[in-house]
A and B are shown apart, each in its own frame.
Chain A
């Protein structure tokens, strides 16, 4: 044990540095590569129960979207008029709507259109937004001014109104477009006016990353502009874009339902939650038959909620400042 010395008048002692935990800094294995932000985020994410709840729900919804036949043997377009508006009964847990369609079966089959619109729109919007935002933020000057003004032009028209106008234009140039055509038309209309939001977020993130030292270092050792952009700047500014994408997925699902409710989204021949909710409104006028409205609306709400909770969890995991 090292000897402790005291000066005249000293009333407490400071332990020699060999006895303090400061020595533990030497215990860290510096030869191991540092963990990236994704691995770090995953560590936080897997301890969050909200993440698991929403992830399992979304996985289940994805299975329903891909294989609706696994969950019901009833055809969603088979009309049994004799059972019009009857309540829940054996084999038909959500009862029947006015046309005598099985409500449960329609909820199961309606998942596909609603979720595909949300997913596809988000993918398109994210890809366009990420690219334009990154280019604007990275190159700056006139490129930034040009991209930002074009984004502003699309952003200034309210999304819902723009989508309505766009869809009615598409109806004229592209009538009779079948199931996937109908879905794609809604996707195009929403994506055409949704991308500037991602552009703004991506541009802000890129501007922040561009000024960091490791980018200077990379440039100093001779990396080209494009290499810098694609292997350093874009991967490091992905976090806020991914969070926005997860949350806006829910927003686009609601937007599809709203457009269908207004009678201009998916054609009525396509089974979707939005169409079923819209149809239910006239059948529930008096306050009876609420099952016809609650089943598709509930399914839609649970899906949107799952995406929003997932977005929240991912944001908490990716943002070190938000961790407590």
Chain B
């Protein structure tokens, strides 16, 4: 087990290095003058230009710029954004907001997805099952920004149950609607995954044995069918936390939430290169860590799996 963890951790090193280099190259290896992005069309004196080039390491060769960035990132120092604030401060302000949003979405999709998928699987082919399958197909096929926009229109503007936009007040009630929208697509996947898994387990030998022993139906379904169906679902949910945080760009845009997705998106539009590479680096690290945790979780949940 420990050898497996050590090997996985070693494998993540080239991945993190490679991803940051890749994103760094896409952002910085572009024609055009980065100082123009900073000053717009205003004239810049030679002295200011030289000082800024040195401050952002732009006078160094590309690879050295990247290495300097990595050196800072190791200790949580992502440099200074063109707006003058430290990038780590911008991220520290945006990350908790997105984390809250993603966790709320995760709870929503886990609870509703598992419950609906469980009952749909138990009553396969009945009206509830068919309805849920149609709902999940629609949710996956219609782009999330159309669904989000429609929900904002109905619940936020016409019924006025919740505020239409969130802004700086990220209280629980304000975040309910965005979290629902963010978790909607994953809800459909959790539902289908649970349903398939439950149907598979219903015909398993150990379930038949339990029934033959006279264990009440409800207990068989909860203790034996549901619990054994949770393995693929839990691993999906674990991997989904990172995906939700990265996919929050659209939801945060619709509901005007100042999270990490919005920060990255605005930075890309404005050519705020240090912020872009830093946010993507944070996202990559979140992805790498969650996928490692999911693999370990898999072994804990399913004793048949042993990592050598």
Q: Does A308 contact B146, Cβ atoms closer than 8 Å?
A: no
Please determine whether A160 and B249 come into contact, CB atoms closer than 8 angstroms: yes
Contact of A154 among B22, B140, B288 (CB under 8 A): B22
Stretch of B27-35, B45-53, B59-67, B176-184 that contacts chain A: B27-35
Contact of B18 with A297 in the complex, beta carbons under 8 Å: no
Q: Give the distance to chain B from A291, nearest Cβ to Cβ, in Å.
A: 14
Segment touching B, from A91-99, A164-172, A215-223: A164-172
Q: How far is the CB of B274 from chain A (nearest CB, A)?
A: 13
- Interface assignment of B138: CB less than 8 Å from any CB of chain A: yes
- Check B250–A287 contact: CB distance below 8 A: no
- Closest B residue to A148 by beta carbon equals B11
The one of B23, B153, B158, B250 that contacts A261, using a Cβ cutoff of 8 Å: B250
Chain B residue nearest in CB terms to A251: B140
Q: Does A281 contact B (CB under 8 A)?
A: yes
A161 to B250, CA, bound (A): 11
* Residue with the greatest number of chain B CB neighbours at <10 A, chosen from A152, A166, A258, A300: A152
List of A residues within 8 angstroms of B283 by Cβ: 157-158, 161
Q: Are B143 and A169 in contact (CB under 8 A)?
A: no
Q: How far is the CA of A293 from the CA of B146 in the complex (A)?
A: 8
Chain B residues lying within 8 Å of A154, measured Cβ to Cβ, are: 19, 22
User: Which of B141, B158, B264 is in CB contact (< 8 Å) with A161?
Assistant: B264
Complex Cα distance, B153 from A308, in Å, reads 28
Contact yes or no, A287 B249, CB < 8 A: no
Quote the shortest CB–CB distance from B90 to chain A (angstroms). Answer: 16
Mostly helix, strand, loop or mixed at chain B's interface?
Answer: helix
Nearest-CB residue, chain A, relative to B154: A287
Closest B residue to A171 by beta carbon equals B30
Contact B145 A261 (CB under 8 A): yes
Given the interface contacts A164-B265, A172-B32, does A153 sit within 8 Å of B141 by beta carbon? no
User: Looking at the complex, which one of A258, A284, A286, A293 makes contact with B250 (CB distance below 8 Å)?
Assistant: A258
CB-contact partner of B15 in A153, A257, A293, A309, under 8 A: A153
A297 touches B143 (CB 8 A): yes
| Residues of chain A from 122 to 151 with CB closer than 8 A to chain B in the complex | 149-150
Q: Out of B32, B261, B287, which one reaches A156, CB within 8 Å?
A: B287
Q: Are B246 and A158 in contact (CB-based, < 8 A)?
A: yes
* A169 and B27 within 8 A (CB): yes
Cβ–Cβ < 8 Å partners of B158 in chain A: 287
Interface residue total, chain A, C-beta cutoff 8 A: 41
* B276, A165: Cβ atoms closer than 8 Å: yes
How many A-B pairs have beta carbons closer than 8 Å: the answer is 123
Cβ–Cβ contact A305 & B23, under 8 A: no
Contact A156 B15 (CB under 8 A): yes
Of B30, B149, B269, the contact of A169 (CB 8 Å cutoff): B30
Q: How far is the CB of B36 from chain A (nearest CB, A)?
A: 12
Q: A156 contacts B19, CB within 8 Å?
A: yes
Closest B residue to A273 by CB, please name it: B143
Of all chain B residues, the one with the shortest Cβ separation from A298 is B142
> 20 additional contacts, CB 8 Å, given A161-B246, A161-B264, A164-B249?
A154-B22, A158-B242, A158-B247, A160-B246, A161-B249, A169-B30, A172-B30, A172-B32, A258-B143, A262-B253, A264-B269, A277-B146, A284-B153, A287-B153, A293-B149, A300-B143, A301-B141, A302-B141, A308-B140, A308-B141
Q: Which residues in B have some Cβ–Cβ distance to A below 8 Å?
A: 11, 14-16, 18-19, 22-23, 26-27, 30-32, 137-138, 140-146, 149, 153, 157-158, 242-243, 246-247, 249-250, 253, 261, 264-265, 268-269, 276, 279-280, 283-284, 287-288
Footprint of B on A, CB under 8 Å?
Answer: 149-150, 152-154, 156-158, 160-162, 164-166, 168-169, 172-173, 250, 254, 257-258, 261-264, 277, 281, 284-287, 293, 297, 300-302, 304-305, 308-309
